[in-house]
Structure 1
Amino acid sequence: MDQPPALDPSEESESADPQDAYERGHGPYQPHEPGYGLDQAGYSPYEDEIPDPETRMLAIKNAKAYLLKTSTKSGLNLYDHFANVLTKILDEQPTNTVDIIEDISKDVKCAQFRKKMDTLRDEHLILPTFQAAVKYKALFIREGGGEEDDDLEEEMGQPSLPNVMEAAFYFEQAGIGLDKDESYYIFLALKNLINVQPIQSCRFWGKILGLEMNYIIAEVQLQEGEDDEEIEDEGEEIVGEGEKEDEAEEEDEQKEKEAEPPKSTYKPPPEIPKEANGTGTNKYVYFVCNEPGNPWEKLPPVTPAQIVCARKIKKFFTGRLDAPIVSFPPFPGNEANYLRAQIARISAGTHVSPTGFYQFANEDEEEEEGADTYEENTEFEPPPVAEMVESLAMWAHHAKSILNQGRCFWINPFQKSEEDDEDEEEEEDEGEEQQEERGPPLLTLISEDEGMKDIPAWTVQTSTDLIPQYSVAILRSNRWPGAYAFASGRKFENIYFGWGHKYSPESHTPELPPPAQEEFPSGPGITETVDPTVEEEMAFRAAQEEALAEAEEGEDEELEDD
């Protein structure tokens, strides 16, 4: 059969109907496009003999790209569908394939949406809400039960459980807090914690947000004797390590006697010891969990080095206690230690109470170092809410502030015992020159806190102005965003919901590394002199010749006088 004569490309482009091109899904090709001439009879860019092979390859790539376009409805593309259809045909090789090609295409397309099942029944999807319900179900299970058990708990003097729901009610009036369901889950989780651990008092500290998971924090005071056992265990480990260190030192001394290399004169600064459990920054013990129902994990005590380093860095929490802290300066510990350091900093700066609610047992020891204990004032008369809002002097800190040293109570790191050597006595003299650092005393008014440029340190307001007789005084910390406190009569509470970061009016700038140390000390015996210029050498020679000439003239005059 004779083929119709090929048309001139220019004539075809002019005679092409735009409506027909729109129905084909592509406009008429222009002469500069790779697909120009594909719809002409008698011309195909896929033949063996093509004047321009680069144009053919570009047209093939454009065609493949068109076939790879993904459908917005099914999410499939024509290229993969054709490949699956051809694979099915070659595997099965049916007769009269051209007659059933539509059915094969339909079967391949249906197989993409059919779920692969190994059972006769459909698999049941476990919803996230069901998984959460299973987790929270363990909080509602009561072990034992009965009125007799309740009487036994009261007789044994079980610690009083904090009323989390009551505190959540007061904070909710100011738009602060968690969902009621989550607050109740935390309430039950604290009850389980008290039943497991030997706890004397417990309090819901707050919630710190993380990138992957959050931290729910419980502030706990253990019963007497529990902290001492931990200290003894730590001491035994230290003694064991000390014996190993002594053996290692003896081996090192023997090696040094054989060949003594040059020794460094650098002496690292003394390590500042951490405060004992139950005092200062380690006054309370903290337990954390990611969600109510998960097991509680105890945070380790905080050290001064961790607090000092935490002030220089700013890191987001991940929600994993074993996550490393990558920062400069390097942080001495993992995320559990960094979390404990931030909790200590937030507690020292934001835990406040109405002025006069607490008082010292001995008024003469208010400013002494041991004045870190206080008691509740039974004669305290709560002021009205209007007075609590008008002046910041109606609020006071009941947590000891942290010094620059990283401790609540200053200690001289150079102080040694009387049995030390003469070299250590010289270090004692240097240590005596250090001035003792003192912070603000306990129960200091928050009105004395310094602000941040034009931002005050605290903001106080009422929960509502419409019903002032039933309003609550709400205090918000601007230095630690997320720290709040309320006061209503003799009831008050502190709580924190935030990322655990301190507010800074300027952007955070990491600390720069220290300057490079000089390799050799500069001096006339070591520093190399600069080479003189030609003019300086000529002037030096002329000065030497003049000096010789004057010396010769002086000798001649002496001879003449003789």
Structure 2
Amino acid sequence: MCVKVAGRQEKKKKRRRRKMESEDSQRLHSAASLKAFLLKSSTESRLNLYDHLTGLLLKVMDERPPNVVDVIEDMSRDVKRAALEQQSSLRELPEISAAELLAEQQLSLFSRPEDADQDDELMETPLPNVSELAFYLEQAGVGLGREETHRIFLALKQLVESQGLLRCRLWGKVLGTESSYIVAESEYREGEEEEEPSFDEEEPDAEDTEMDPLPQSIYKPPPEVPKEALGTGANKYVYYVCKEPGLPWVKLPSVSPAQITAARQIRKFFTGRLDNPVVSYPPFPGNEANYLRAQIARISAGTQVSPQGFFQAGEEEGDEEDTSPPDSYEANPDFEGLPVAEMVETLSSWVHHVQHILQQGRCTWVNMAVKPEEDSNEEAEADEKEEEPDEPEPEVGPPLLTPLSQDAELFNTPPWTSKVSSTLTSQHAVAVLRSNLWPGSCAYACRKKFENIYVGWGLKYVGGNYSPPVPPPPQKDYPSGPEITEALDPSLEEEQMLKEALEEEQAAQEELEDSGDEAEEDDD
């Protein structure tokens, strides 16, 4: 019995000891947290309460004034004033922030030239009605915001005045990791030529010419697909980009079929620097400016749509026997508009008004099997022995003004999603169309008005995780054959048999020669 009582008392002591240790640890933790709170500096005076109370208590202990509780506020004020006087009265001015720097750059957008005439502003202008575009895009649930849209409108006005453009519209905004691109689309002007970059070939050094020449490779790369002329196909429009409204506009170069083909095989985020090299596999022929131009061409060809009947095929002067689909269109003056409910219910009420880009990287197919006249004359003798290759079958894409209902599904995903902007006020709603293959591309239509815009990362939907293409197997150094393949040394028996066979063959040949000589003597 005594043992049980002693055990219970021992357990009670352990519990009491644990409780006291827990209370002590909580007390220490609360004291540490309280001290950390007291050591927190003020954002205005850069002082903390812990140092202030310490200085105040030291002042009280040194002076020991009567009625301390009555003068404690004045002493606290004196301690705080002395601490502030110890700090430097001169403060470093903060550097110019990015917002202030951008405001200085955009100041020119809001300045009106003194020689501007009010009558000229009332005339028809190539500028789009960006305020109206922002209103409808806001109804559709997309856009850039009213403030940024207004600044972009002023930037487009500056671009039109500086470049003398005949037509200009806001194509969209391509996002980047460091900065984004605001893209403006303008029509090609006749006589406008592109400045192609020239690369100076390095002359060989004198020491290299004295050495034995290196063997020349006989490999001939496949012929390069020619670029489409300015104003046609993928180069029908000219594009300008800028990082922010107020910064200078940069004209993008024209796009080549090789760049479009390579852009289809890679996925790269944009950095915001046009001169940045594109490191990828397969290698991309150009820098980020060329890659951006290739993606703009691909997005425009796949997502630029309009209501059925708004455009009609243009009349082209040419051969009457030409049965190729028309590659131009013009506005239909008799278009009366389509009901919003009809444009939402069926995709047949929307059509593509930008040419489809073929697998060749062009909008119009070109026969690469036909050689130029100069090359055909020089290689005529060499081609006589070779068989003529089969004539390739021309590639034909969907014609212009093809309904969206004929677009194919990819990765079990419908290519388009349509909806009405508001179901509560349907009489004032607009039809909204979004692309699922190019996320960020959107179009709206309301009565006789429509517009397309793109705001995204410039990447196509691939249906899942992206897997880069596998490099091809390495080429062989030389063809394998019996002439160069190393063989095993023959045995002694094999050498003896081979020697006997050669001797028999030589003896038979000598007998034939002797019999031939005797026959000639008999004839004589």
Coarse TM-score class (shorter-chain normalised): 0.7 to 0.9
The offset of 1:454, in angstroms, is 2.4
Whether contact under 8 Å (2:167, 2:186) holds in the other structure is: yes
The offset of 1:153, in angstroms, is 6.1
Give the SS at the match of 2:451: strand
The offset of 1:223, in angstroms, is 3.2
Q: 5+ unaligned residues in a row in structure 1: which ranges?
A: 1-13, 27-69, 77-98, 100-105, 545-562
1:450 to 401, 408, 415: 408
Q: Distance in 2 between matches of 1:509 and 1:531?
A: 50
Instruction: Indicate how the Cα distance of structure 1 residues 524 and 204 shifts in structure 2: closer, same or farther if over 3 A, else same.
Output: same
Structure 2 counterpart of 1:379, one-letter code? D
The offset of 1:345, in angstroms, is 0.6
1:276 to 215, 218, 229: 229
Whether contact under 8 Å (2:369, 2:391) holds in the other structure is: no
Q: Distance in 1 between matches of 2:226 and 2:460?
A: 25
Aligned counterpart, 2:161: 195
Whether contact under 8 Å (1:396, 1:443) holds in the other structure is: yes
Q: Distance in 2 between matches of 1:370 and 1:179?
A: 40
Aligned counterpart, 2:342: 387
Structure 1 counterpart of 2:119, one-letter code? D
Q: Verify: 1:295 aligned to 2:261, yes or no.
A: no
1:357 to 310, 320, 327: 310
Structure 2 counterpart of 1:167, one-letter code? L
The offset of 1:334, in angstroms, is 1.5
2:284 to 331, 344, 347: 331
1:399 to 351, 354, 362: 354
Whether contact under 8 Å (1:360, 1:366) holds in the other structure is: no
Give the SS at the match of 1:393: helix
Aligned counterpart, 1:342: 295
Aligned counterpart, 2:119: 151
- Scaled by the length of structure 2, the TM-score of the pair is 0.72
Give the SS at the match of 1:375: strand
Aligned counterpart, 1:412: 367
Percent of paired sites with the same residue: 51
1:186 to 137, 144, 152: 152
Whether contact under 8 Å (1:369, 1:409) holds in the other structure is: no
Instruction: Indicate how the Cα distance of structure 1 residues 359 and 259 shifts in structure 2: closer, same or farther if over 3 A, else same.
Output: same
Q: Distance in 2 between matches of 1:321 and 1:371?
A: 35
What RMSD, in angstroms, separates the aligned Cα atoms of the two structures?
4.3
Give the SS at the match of 2:434: strand
Instruction: Indicate how the Cα distance of structure 1 residues 260 and 123 shifts in structure 2: closer, same or farther if over 3 A, else same.
Output: closer
Aligned counterpart, 1:141: 111
Q: Distance in 2 between matches of 1:300 and 1:127?
A: 33
Instruction: Indicate how the Cα distance of structure 1 residues 267 and 453 shifts in structure 2: closer, same or farther if over 3 A, else same.
Output: same
Q: Verify: 1:307 aligned to 2:244, yes or no.
A: no
Query: Which deviates more from structure 2 when the two are superposed, residues 359-368 or residues 446-455?
Result: 359-368
The offset of 1:435, in angstroms, is 2.3
1:208 to 152, 171, 174: 174
Instruction: Indicate how the Cα distance of structure 1 residues 116 and 277 shifts in structure 2: closer, same or farther if over 3 A, else same.
Output: farther
2:457 to 476, 496, 499: 499
Instruction: Indicate how the Cα distance of structure 1 residues 462 and 299 shifts in structure 2: closer, same or farther if over 3 A, else same.
Output: same
Instruction: Indicate how the Cα distance of structure 1 residues 526 and 213 shifts in structure 2: closer, same or farther if over 3 A, else same.
Output: same
Aligned counterpart, 1:467: 425
Structure 2 counterpart of 1:140, one-letter code? F
Q: Verify: 1:376 aligned to 2:331, yes or no.
A: yes
Q: Distance in 1 between matches of 2:341 and 2:401?
A: 22
The offset of 1:263, in angstroms, is 3.4
Aligned counterpart, 1:509: 467
Structure 2 counterpart of 1:478, one-letter code? N
Aligned counterpart, 1:422: 379
Structure 2 counterpart of 1:490, one-letter code? K
Cα offsets for 1:420-453 (capped at 9, x unmatched): 3126974997676322222111111111110123
Give the SS at the match of 1:199: coil
Q: Distance in 2 between matches of 1:451 and 1:224?
A: 39
Q: 5+ unaligned residues in a row in structure 2: which ranges?
A: 1-16, 30-34, 42-61, 63-78, 498-524
Structure 2 counterpart of 1:190, one-letter code? L
Q: Distance in 2 between matches of 1:214 and 1:115?
A: 44
Structure 1 counterpart of 2:217, one-letter code? S
Q: Verify: 1:263 aligned to 2:216, yes or no.
A: yes
Instruction: Indicate how the Cα distance of structure 1 residues 152 and 433 shifts in structure 2: closer, same or farther if over 3 A, else same.
Output: same
Give the SS at the match of 1:288: strand
Whether contact under 8 Å (2:156, 2:184) holds in the other structure is: yes
2:129 to 144, 163, 169: 163
Aligned residues: 439
Q: Distance in 2 between matches of 1:268 and 1:261?
A: 20
Q: Distance in 2 between matches of 1:206 and 1:114?
A: 56
Q: Distance in 1 between matches of 2:372 and 2:22?
A: 101
Instruction: Indicate how the Cα distance of structure 1 residues 262 and 472 shifts in structure 2: closer, same or farther if over 3 A, else same.
Output: same
